[in-house]
Structure 1
Amino acid sequence: MSRIGFKTIEVPDSVTVTKEGDNITVKGPKGELTRHFDPKIKFEQKDGEITVSRSSESDKALHGTSRANLANMIEGVVNGYKKTLKLIGVGYRAQAQGSKLTLNVGYSHPVVLTAPEGVTVKTPSATDVEVEGISKQDVGQFAAEIRAVRSPEPYKGKGIRYTDENVRRKEGKTGK
Structure 2
Amino acid sequence: MSRIGKKPVELPSGVEATVSGQTIEVKGPKGTRSFKATDDVTFSVENNAITVTPRGKSKRARQQWGMSRSMVENLVTGVTTGFKKELEINGVGYRATMQGDKVLKLALGYSHDVNFEVPEGVTVTAPKQTEIIVEGIDQQLVGQVAANIREWRAPEPYKGKGIKYKGEYIFRKEGKKK
- TM-score class normalised by the smaller sequence: over 0.9
Measure the CA separation in 1 of the matches of 2:165 and 2:47: 39
Residue of structure 2 aligned with 1:67, choices 57, 66, 69: 69
Structure 2 letter corresponding to 1:173 = K
TM-score by length of 2: 0.93
User: Which residue does the alignment assign to 1:25?
Assistant: 25
1:65: Cα distance to partner?
A: 1.2
Measure the CA separation in 2 of the matches of 1:168 and 1:87: 16
TM-score by length of 1: 0.94
Measure the CA separation in 2 of the matches of 1:111 and 1:22: 42
User: Which residue does the alignment assign to 2:4?
Assistant: 4
Query: Matched residue of 1:67: which SS?
Result: helix
Measure the CA separation in 2 of the matches of 1:40 and 1:2: 14
Gaps (5+ residues) in structure 1? none
Structure 2 letter corresponding to 1:20 = S
Query: Measured at CA, do residues 52 and 2 of structure 1 come closer, stay the same or move farther in structure 2, by a change above 3 Å?
Result: closer
Measure the CA separation in 1 of the matches of 2:25 and 2:72: 10
The answer to whether structure 1 residue 171 and structure 2 residue 178 are counterparts is: no
Measure the CA separation in 1 of the matches of 2:116 and 2:38: 33
User: Which residue does the alignment assign to 2:146?
Assistant: 143
User: Which residue does the alignment assign to 2:54?
Assistant: 54
User: Which residue does the alignment assign to 2:114?
Assistant: 111
C-alpha contact (below 8 Å) 2:32/2:79 kept by paired residues: yes
Measure the CA separation in 2 of the matches of 1:124 and 1:75: 24
Measure the CA separation in 1 of the matches of 2:71 and 2:33: 11
Residue of structure 2 aligned with 1:78, choices 61, 77, 80: 80
Gaps (5+ residues) in structure 2? none
- Map Cα deviations across residues 103-155 of structure 1 (whole Å, 9 max, x no partner): 11111111122222110000001110000111111111100111111111111
Measure the CA separation in 2 of the matches of 1:137 and 1:158: 26
Measure the CA separation in 2 of the matches of 1:73 and 1:11: 11
Query: Measured at CA, do residues 2 and 166 of structure 1 come closer, stay the same or move farther in structure 2, by a change above 3 Å?
Result: farther
CA RMSD of aligned residues (A): 1.3
For this pair of structures, how many residues does the alignment match? 175
